[in-house]
Structure 1
Amino acid sequence: MSHHHHHHHAAEAHPQHLTLFTPAGVVLKAAPLKLAARRLAAQGFEVSVDEAALARHQRFGGDDDVRLDALHRIARARPDIALATRGGYGLTRLLDRIDWKLIAKSVAHGTRWVGHSDMTALQLGLLAHTGAQSWAGPLAVGDFGGETVDDITQDCFVEAMTGALEAVGFRTEAGFDGLQAKGVLWGGNLCVLNALLGTPHFPKVKGGILFLEDVNEHPYRIERSLLQLHQAGVLNAQKAVVLGSFNEFKKSPLDRGYSLKGVVEYLRSQTKTPILTGLPFGHVPTKVTMPVGAKVTLLVQARDVLMGWDH
């Protein structure tokens, strides 16, 4: 399991203001969102729910204009934390119309934009256009609106938001002892990231540390996506690639022993960039919260990986 490192600050003088918003997929039921808001309030946040968080249009949380307005409204309001209710699909439609400077201005004033899955598009677009940082982490409904809340996910999120979290740690496979790398941490959902290739919204990060995860994708589809990144020159340009969870796919009778392990082994034969596995991140209950666009230092001792950052 993952462990994390932090130091304690004096109690915050005033509670952090956290806004829940829906940038992509529709929130089907209000109850889990209300439960998430209550649980986050119990963690000491002053929670508000954006006025369009429960809007509906087809499979989206409101039509494109409604969701775009929500992004800009929150960026102008500059809460301490802007946490997406869920991912799904929808931010890709907005990328050409987002006022990136406005979002970056909110970040400069202290807003932390948080999420994963489809939020990868916003996080990477922001990095590509402005260099501003955001946070790969939980989603309100999936992580705080269910029957239980994962302790590590919650602790990591709260500590990252208060500035107490300085590193995340996890176990990887043998063979990387002594590895050290410094670079910009970036990445997210593999399919969403690949859909940005060749667009102005894809960050041109050289010498970075790229993290990737995906869900409902068969190993051969994951391999094809990773090879697309490799053939585009992206993998060779990084100091390290860190793989999170790739889960919930169905095996095929055609696999004949081909597996995710085989995918990783094959990719390692194709690129000189170290490919580490085991990052607790993705569409799984236990996930860390990490700064996208921040300079991180990655250290491996035996099988223990520590990824740390400055404030």
Structure 2
Amino acid sequence: MTSLTLFTPSGVLAKAQPLRRAAKRLTQLGFDVTTDADALAKHQRFAGDDATRLAALHRVADAAPSVALATRGGYGLTRLLDQIDWGRLAHSVEHGTRWVGYSDLTALQNGFIARHKGLAMWSGPLACEDFGRADDDGGVDEVTRDCFLEAMSGALEAVGFRESGAPRGETPFDGLEARGRLWGGNLTVLCSLLGTPHWPKVKGGILFLEDVNEHPYRVERMLLQLQQAGVIDAQAAVLLGDFGKPAKSPLDGGYGIKDAVAALRSRTRTPVLAGLPFGHVRTKVCLPVGATVELYVQGREAIVGWQSDPRLAHGAHDHHHHH
């Protein structure tokens, strides 16, 4: 059986029920599930104080389960970044642990790949939100579940999506091919790393971004911060996931996310594609953060592919199959 540990590195879990539900469902999916001892700890808005959450992170790393799945995001990993023993996390990844999550996990994933060139973590579902959702609220999304199972077995080697940002009838990215290191995640969390030791200095990479509950002008401001810092222009491509449906302001005058993206596109030569099925949405794919990926676009159909097990991009443990 595939060992899977549930842990809470950031925000507090308000209720235990979604965690129990997620553990039960993941067990039914064939995982040998362990819940970390402090998964339900509480301290202000956090899942325990900083020392408690740091210890949990190191405890999971030392146990090196096949899968380390965060229960939720929220906020809290930023507090731990300067104290994490990154070598212990790297050791777990080298021994096959797939760390999975998104949102606040963006801080952990990018802090990790900033230090470890050949290793990857996974942007993917969160236990409570994606596997702990009550049946009355729609239960588990099948695409999210199947993609997660495939990724955790090492079989997932590509995700496809339809580029949705171009005007109807136009295919500006047709024929695009790019290869580079995949990185990114939540836009707000990523921007908070800029200028810190936890920032991955990726050149020629494929940057993916998503966010939620941010007004389009705030999304634009962060996108332009990355562009003005030279980050966007240094990438081979940018993939935009979901940005939610933020509340409109009476001052917008029709301005929305598409206009924010247009503002970025007008300032960079880097291809900026929209439509990646990722973010604070029910249906989300799994993406190997830190792995080398290849992007191919035909018409409006885009495919992001990688070696079938991007645990290591290179090194002594290399046992990949090239497709």
Question: Structure 2-normalised TM-score?
Answer: 0.91
| Structure with greater proportional strand content | 1
Matched AA of 2:285: V
State the alpha-carbon separation in 2 of the partners of residues 83 and 76 from structure 1.
15
- The match for 1:123 is 109
Q: CA deviation at 1:249?
A: 1.2
Is the aligned partner of 1:24 residue 2:10? Answer: yes
Q: Hey, what does 1:94 align to over in structure 2?
A: 80
Matched, 1:286 2:283: yes
Identity across aligned pairs (percent)?
A: 65
Please, which of 206, 215, 231 is the counterpart of residue 212 of structure 2?
Answer: 215
Unpaired runs of at least 5, structure 1:
1-14
| Aligned residue number for residue 246 of structure 1 | 243
* Unaligned residue ranges in structure 2 (runs of 5+): 165-170, 310-323
Q: Trace 1:46-85 onto structure 2 (pairs within 5 A).
A: 46-85=32-71
Contact persistence 1:101–1:130 (CA under 8 A) = no
Partner of 2:295: 298
Aligned equivalents of 1:118, 1:265: Cα separation in 2 = 27
Whether the 8 Å CA contact 1:235–1:271 is kept in 2: the answer is: yes
Q: In structure 2, what is the Cα distance between the partners aligned to 1:248 and 1:182? A: 31
Give 1:144's match in structure 2, choosing from 118, 121, 131. 131
- Deviation of 1:104 after TM superposition, in Å, equals 0.5
Scaled by the length of structure 1, the TM-score of the pair is 0.95
1:123-169 Cα deviation digits (max 9, x unpaired): 00000122331000000000011121000000000000001111000
Counterparts in 2 of 1:176-215, with a 5 A limit?
A: 176-215=173-212
Q: Answer whether contact 1:17 1:47 (CA < 8 A) is retained.
A: yes
Q: Distance in 2 between the 1:301 and 1:251 partners? A: 34
Q: Which has the larger displacement, 172-181 or 276-285?
A: 172-181
Contact 1:209 1:242 in 2 (8 A): yes
Q: Any idea what SS the aligned residue of 2:10 has?
A: coil
1:134 corresponds in structure 2 to: 121
Residue in 1 that maps onto 2:319: none
Q: CA deviation at 1:269?
A: 0.5
Contact kept, 8 Å, 1:227 with 1:267, in 2: the verdict is yes
| Distance (Å, rounded) in 1 between the aligned partners of 2:131 and 2:286 | 14
Distance (Å, rounded) in 1 between the aligned partners of 2:12 and 2:261: 34
Q: Secondary structure at the match of 2:133?
A: coil
Residue 5 (structure 1) aligns with: none
1:162 to 150, 153, 156: 153
1:248: Cα distance to partner? 3.6
The yes-or-no answer on 1:263 pairing with 2:260 is yes
Question: What is the deviation of 1:227?
Answer: 0.5
* Local SS of the residue matching 1:184: strand
1:154 counterpart letter in structure 2: R
Q: Secondary structure at the match of 1:256?
A: coil
Residue type at the aligned position of 1:160: A
CA distance in 2, matches of 1:31, 1:248: 28
Matches of 2:126 and 2:106, distance apart in 1: 12
Moved over 4 A (4+): none
CA distance in structure 1 between the aligned counterparts of 2:33 and 2:287, rounded to whole angstroms:
21
Cα RMSD over matched residues? 0.6
The question of whether the paired residues in 2 share the 8 Å contact of 1:19 and 1:79 is answered with yes
1:6 — aligned with what? none
Q: State the partner residue of 2:27.
A: 41
Q: Is the 8 A contact 1:18 1:45 kept in 2?
A: yes
Deviation string 1:99-140 (CA, Å, 9 cap, x unpaired) is 001100100000000000000000000001223310000000
Rounded to whole Å, the distance in 2 between the matches of 1:199 and 1:32 is: 35
**Alignment-derived partner of residue 4 in structure 1:** none
* Matched AA of 1:169: G
1:248 and 1:297 map into 2 onto residues whose CA distance is 30
Q: Give the partner amino acid of 1:133.
A: A
